[in-house]
Each structure stands twice: as C-alpha cells, then as structure tokens.
Amino acid sequence: MRQSIAARRPSPVLPALFLALMVGSYFLFFATLTIQRHEAFQSTAFDLGIYNQALWNTTHGAFLRSTNEAGFDMLLADHFQPTLLLFVLFYLINAGPATLLVGQTAILALGALPAYALATRMARPRVDHPEVVGLVFAAAYLLSPALEQANLFDFHPMTLAASFLLYAFYFLRTRRRWLFLVFIALTIGCKEVLPLVGMLVGVYAFLFERERRLGLATFALSLLWLYGGLFLVIPHFNAHGQSQYFALHYGQWGNTPLEMARSLLTHPGTLWAALIAPPKPAYLWTLLAPWALMPLAGLAALFIALPVLAVNLLSATGLMHDPDLLLHYAAPLVPILFVACLDGVAWLADRVASRGWPRKRAVYVLALAVLSATLVAHRQGGETPLAAGFRWPEVTTHRQAAQALFAQVRPDAAVSASDRLNPHVSGRNTLYVFPRLEEAGTVLYDMTPTNVPVIPRDEYDFVQRLIHEEGFGIVDGRDGILLLRKGETNRTIPPSFYRFAQAGAATPQYPTRVMFGDSFALTGFDVLQTRPSAPRVYLRLYVQVRRPLPDDLRIFAFLTGAQGEPLPGSEYEIPAAIWYPPRRWPTGETMRLDTLHWELYRQRQFGVALVVTRGDNPWDVGSRLPAQIVTAAGDAAGGPAGTLLELVHIRRVGRGAEVQTSLRQR
C-alpha cells in the first residue's frame, strides 16, 4: 500500500527541470538580446552610460563618480541606490556595460524561483498537482511585458526590485525573517522612492501576516531609509539641496516635498482629475490585463502598489505612465501584482468552492486564464519573437566604424560623446553627453542617429566651430562619426566619413520616381522603425543626381497635419545633406539620406513631407524646386508639379507605427 501511494506522488524532478529550462531560456535569450541591442547602438547615455561610468569609477578609486548629467559629478546627487554596489565585485572581474546587462537579466530570471515557490505554496492545499500551477505562474512572471520591457531598456537598479521583492514576499510567507529583511533591504535600496513600498510591506506583514514585530521593524527601517535617502544623502551631494526630480516630475504640485503633500491633500478634485486623465486609465489596464484582473481580488497585497502607482501617475513625465512603454518605472509593480494575483486566485477558488464547484478545478481554470491573458498581453507588448513586431537588433558596419574610432580614444581622456556612442566609452573618469563639452578634450560625434528635437544645422555649426575656432582637430572620421581631439592640427574630414551617404545596391521599400526640377530624382524610400523600449521611426531616402547641383541647394523635411498642411516649427534640414552637401554628390550615383528619428511616444500621428529649396528658407515657396511625380508604388496623386512632396502618414499603434504611403505634391 505504501509503495502504491508513493508511486502516485509526482516526482519533483520533472517540475524542477521545466523550471530550470524556463529560467535558463529567459536568461540566455535576454542576456544575448540586451547585449545585441547595445552593440547595435540602441543603448543610451541615459542611463547605461551613467551607471557604467559610476561603477567603473568606483572600482578605480572615485566612489560613484558620474559626470554625464550636468550639475553634479556624483551619482548620489541624482539617486540613492546602494543596491547598485552589488555589482562592484563583478566589475572587479569584468568592468563594462555587458556586466550590467547580463547581471540584470540574471537577477530578473531568478525571480521565477520565488514566483514558482509562492504559486506552488498557494496551490498545494487546493489541487493535486501544485507544481503545475507553480510552473504556470512562473511562466506568467517571465512573460510579463512590464518585466521584459524593463529588462531590455538599458540598466536601472529600480528594475532589480522586480525580483528582490518577490524573494521578500516568499521569505515573509515562509517565516524566514532574516532572509526577508535582507531582500527588503535590497528592494528599498534600488531607488530612493522604494522605501515607500517597504513601509507598506511592513503594514501588510503586521496586519495580514500577523508578523507584528517584523512588520513594525520593516516599517521603521523603510521610513528611516526614505528620510536618509531623500532628505539627507541626495541634498548633501546635490547643489540644489534636494532631488532634481521633485521639480522635473512633480513641479506642478509644489517646489518642495512638503508643498507637494499639502497641495495633494488640499486639492482632492485636482488630484483625482490628474489620476484619471488619459492615458492613465489605459496604463492601469495595461498593468492589470496580463494577470486577468485577478489582483483586484487580492486587494490586501495590491494595496502595496499604491506608492509606485502614485509616483508614476502623478508625474508630469508621460513616459512614467505610458500604457505602451512601461520601461523600468513599472518594474517594482510586477512582484506586487504577482502576489495580489495569487491571492486573488486563492480567494476566488475558495469562494467558488463554497458554492459547490470543485476547488481544484477552479484553481486550474483561473491559472489557465492568467497564463492566457499574459500570452495575449505578451503578444502586444512583450520582447520575444512571440510578440508582434519583434525585431532582432541589427548590428551594421556602423559598429565596425565606431569600434575603430573607440580604439583611438585615450583611456584617460575626458570625452564628450553622442548619446548612442556614450555608453561604449563610459569606462572613464570624466564623460559628457555631446554637445556638453566642459573640460573634455576629446569629442566623439555621430551625425547619423539623431533624434528630435535636435536641430541638425546647429549641431553642424557647433562641430565646425570646434574644428575651426576652438582648437579641436580631426583624428579620424568613418561612416558619419567624427573623432576630434584638442590640439590636433588636421581640419580635413576624411572621405571614409561620408560612407553614411552611400546607398550601394539597396532596394527601396517604396520605389518611386519624383523629379525635383531637372536636377535630381527621389528614387524611393524606406520607413524604418527601431524597437524595443521607446520606439522610433525614420525615413531613409534614396536620391539620384542627374546633373551637377547648385551650391545653395538644401533639402528640408516637414511634419504635416491631418490635412497635409506643414506644421510650423517642424521643419529641419536633412542631416546627411548638411554634412555632405548636394553640390558634392557625384552625378549618376544613388545617395542615401536618413531623416531625424521621431519618438512615437512624443508624437502619435503625423505626416512627413519634403521640400528642396535654393537657400535656407523652406517657407519661401518661390525658392523651392518643383516636385513632379513620375512613377510611384501604391497610392499617388500626380498632376501639376507642386513644391511640397508628401511621402507618408505615420500613426502610433501600440508600441509600433502604422504607415500609410500616399505621395502628393502641394
């Protein structure tokens, strides 16, 4: 009889193997993807460059020195994140952005272990096979769009809280108090606002877990940490005497934390209006939908999410509550929603059982509902090939050109580098984001991945001033990247710099033929999108010169409104045509010109139009060259030549763009 019972018990080996496979797959995929994204120049100075420099400096004797942001040279003036120091040991072994990206991914992947353990613990008294439920919820955690988007968006200590807080919940529920305190400390050490979460975890432990002393200790520890970080450490190192984010994100509520609290408490109508203003209801739906709304039935745990929700929803920065771009701001909500979801499933299964429905069937059905909802949400906002619009970041020859220039930067040089180059050279004492110069004697400037609201002509003029007036010379230039150094005497840009304009044998997505006067033709264009995290869209134009072009020829892009009208203030010169003027283009060759990159979280719907003009005033219709559509793919409106050529209309849909091509002259 004993052997018969033992034979029916599920082996723990198979669930453990499945769990290990899930964790290992997540780690290998996202570790590779995050590094690939970095190598494809999709990481940024804010924030991978910041954190890599701070840790590199820490291991080289300058504790948390960080110079990328203007106004201070110490990371503690910006954030209080002592958990970041966990990476110092790893930097002693291998310093660099890859250590941060791989380490962050490993910590998030290991969060599936307490997720599995918590779900199994919830299911054990209710079903015959709790390990199955545990695996379902571990998969839901790893497929959570909020987790994956945060994982992929550079590196942020705040993201690590998604895993650490799950461990804290597990050790709280299993009464392993010292381990609970360790992981609560790691959680609240991820950012200066997270002690607010720690305080509510303490309240939760006191009221619902019957851990009176532990709850009080957690509340007190978190309160002291909050006060120390926000009101002692940051003000001590910040020249303004308080965190810059009070004014940046919450200045509409007051100038100091006390003023903000008073404003929020005395104007409940304004507060309520701010909380429900679009797109915030959609943001809340995005957070709850992957869990099949089950956290609403686990209100005791969901209560812990209030501080993070308030911080995100009340911010004037739209990225903090964008329903399609959760980024690292939503990462601490993942473990709270997970635990509330488990509690909601348990509560609903017990209620259903009290009405005569089998409890175990209810648990299985609800777990399946959560996994199904997660898969649907993952399809819309995840970062794996299962997600719609997934793109593997492409590492092009641009990286090879950049690497050749990085190798020529002296290790001890103070550097000013363009946003996308910055993280790659951030292992140094002094680093700035171009065009901030200060004491930098070396400049790495990339004219290719330029984002609105940069004015390309202003950047060009600034670089020319550095070369011809400020004592900087050209060390090297390749594929749109210049390496300048103070004291160099060379003032001539090498031919290899202009490779960015060589189209080669490219085949446009949208072939066309539009003549601008009798000088040159637009032979086609591509509409390109970059993902993940904050998506951007830009156009790649292909033009062919028919005869030598005049010296004063310039090419402008406009954004257009719903009726095709050019929007005032949206015009700018195409960067490639500034650095490589049309008068120098060889006759008969096809040139490649990229527009600026429009960030879809800033502009949700717009059109793009081109103007070719003699002189620097694109609004002067009399100076424009006529645009005559000869042939076009898709919809096109021919007829008499106009001077403004509409190319596409772009509308943000979810995390991507819907593109409608419709060539028209106006």
Q: Could you report the per-residue pLDDT of 503-551, keeping only the tens digit for each?
A: 988 899 999 999 998 888 999 999 988 765 557 789 999 999 888 889 9
Q: Assess if residue 392 is contained within a domain.
A: no
| Long-range contacts of residues 307-311, Cβ cutoff 8 Å, at least 24 apart | 307/193, 307/196, 307/197, 307/199, 307/200, 308/193, 308/194, 308/196, 308/197, 308/332, 308/333, 308/336, 309/284, 309/333, 311/193, 311/196
Q: Considering the domain boundaries, does residue 585 fall inside one? A: yes
What percent of the chain has a predicted confidence (pLDDT) above 70? 95
Do the domain assignments include residue 646? yes
Query: Residue 593: which CATH number?
Result: 2.70.50
The least confident of 196-210, 630-644, 650-664 is 630-644
Compute the residue count for the chain.
666
Please tell me whether residues 355 and 445 are part of one structural domain: no
Q: Are 99 and 90 in contact (CB under 8 A)?
A: yes
Pair 456, 362 in one domain: no
The residue written with tokens 């040139």 in the block is 591
Residue 230 pLDDT grade (very low, low, confident, very high; cuts 50, 70, 90): very high
Q: Which residues contact 514 (CB under 8 A, 6 or more apart)?
A: 521, 522, 627, 628, 629, 630, 632, 645, 663
Are residues 600 and 531 part of one domain? yes
**The dihedral sign for the CA sequence 176, 177, 182, 183:** positive
Cβ neighbourhood burial of 352 (10 Å; 0-12, 13-18, 19+): middle
> What is the band of 574 on the pLDDT scale with cuts at 50, 70, 90?
very high
Whether 616 has a pLDDT exceeding 50, the answer reads: yes
Residues whose CB falls within 8 Å of the CB of residue 20, separated by 6 or more in sequence, listed in order: none
**For residue 651, is it within any domain?**
yes
**Cα–Cα dist 599/272, whole Å:** 29
Measured distance CA(464)–CA(480) in Å, rounded: 14
**CA nearest neighbour of 130 among 117, 140, 120:** 120
Over residues 367-384, the mean pLDDT reads 96
Predicted confidence at residue 2, as pLDDT, reads 45
DSSP 184-245: HHHHHTT-TTTHHHHHHHHHHHHHTS--HHHHHHHHHHHHHHHHHIIIIIHHHH-TTSS-HH
On whether the CB atoms of residues 218 and 188 are closer than 8 A, the answer is: no
* Predicted local confidence at residue 640, as pLDDT: 56
Q: Is residue 390 part of a domain?
A: no
Q: How far is CA 580 from CA 45, 70, 289, 393, 645, in A?
A: 27, 32, 49, 27, 22
> Would 2 be classed as within a structural domain?
no
Instruction: Using alpha carbons, list the distances in angstroms from residue 239 to 64, 233, 634.
Output: 16, 12, 57
Helix (H) or strand (E) holding 141: helix 130-142
Name which residue leads in pLDDT, 13 or 163: 163
Nearest CA among 645, 614, 649, 607 for reference residue 627: 645
Strand pairing report for 520-530 and 431-433: unpaired
Whether the full predicted model's pTM is greater than 0.95, yes or no, is: no
pLDDT at residue 7, rounded to an integer: 45
Q: Which of 7-16, 27-36, 219-228, 533-542 shows the lowest mean pLDDT across its residues?
A: 7-16
Question: Whole domain around residue 240: which residue ranges?
Answer: 12-381
270 Cβ contact list (under 8 Å, min separation 6)? 263
CA–chain centroid gap for 330, Å, is: 12
Q: What digits encode the pLDDT tens for the residues 384-430?
A: 999 987 889 989 999 999 999 999 999 999 999 999 999 999 999 99
545 and 649 share one domain: yes
Beta pairing partners, 556: 573, 611
Given a cut of 60, is residue 617 above it in pLDDT? yes
Residue 209 confidence (pLDDT) = 96
Residue from 514, 570, 565 nearest 542 by CA: 514
Beta bridge partners of 469: none
Amino acid at 216: L
Give pLDDT, residue 666: 79
For 552, residues 6+ apart whose C-beta sits below 8 A from its C-beta are 614, 615
Same domain for 94 and 167, yes or no, is yes
143 falls within a domain: yes
Mean pLDDT of 167-173: 98
- Cα–Cα distance, 117 to 132 (Å, whole number): 11
Nearest to 640 by CA among 662, 617, 664, 623: 664
Does 317 lie in the same domain as 202? yes
CA 536, CA 118: separation in Å to the nearest integer? 38
Indicate whether 297 belongs to any domain: yes
> Do residue 244 and residue 146 come from a single domain?
yes
Least confident of 49-63, 282-296, 629-643: 629-643
Same domain flag for 412 and 470: yes
User: Structural domain tally of the chain?
Assistant: 3
Q: Are residues 585 and 469 in the same domain?
A: no
Are the CB atoms for 41 and 449 separated by under 8 Å? yes
What whole-number percentage of the chain has pLDDT above 90?
75
User: Which of 348, 381, 414 is the endpoint of a domain?
Assistant: 381
Residue type, 468: H
Looking at the structure, do residues 615 and 644 belong to the same domain, yes or no?
Answer: yes
Instruction: Tell me the pLDDT tens digit for each residue of 434-488.
Output: 999 999 999 999 998 777 678 899 999 999 999 999 999 999 999 999 999 999 9
- Among 204, 207, 378, CA closest to 290: 378
Which of 462, 482, 500 finishes a domain?
500
Please report which confidence band the pLDDT of residue 315 belongs to, taking 50, 70 and 90 as the band edges.
Answer: very high
d(CA 92, CA 545): 55
pLDDT, residue 536, reads: 79
In the predicted model, is pLDDT for residue 317 greater than 80?
yes
Verify that 517 and 490 share a domain, yes or no.
Answer: no
For range 646-652, the mean pLDDT: 87
pLDDT, tens only, 245-277: 988 899 899 888 888 888 988 998 999 999 999
User: Alpha helix locations (H) across 435-588?
Assistant: 456-468, 575-579
- What is the pLDDT at residue 533? 54
pLDDT above 50 for 4: no
- Does 566 have pLDDT greater than 90? no
Answer yes or no: do 655 and 560 share one domain: yes
Q: Is the pLDDT of residue 361 over 60?
A: yes
Last residue of a domain, one of 381, 415, 436: 381
* 161-165, 361-365, 448-452, 592-596: least confidently modelled range: 448-452
At position 194, the amino acid (one-letter code) is L
pLDDT score for 452: 63
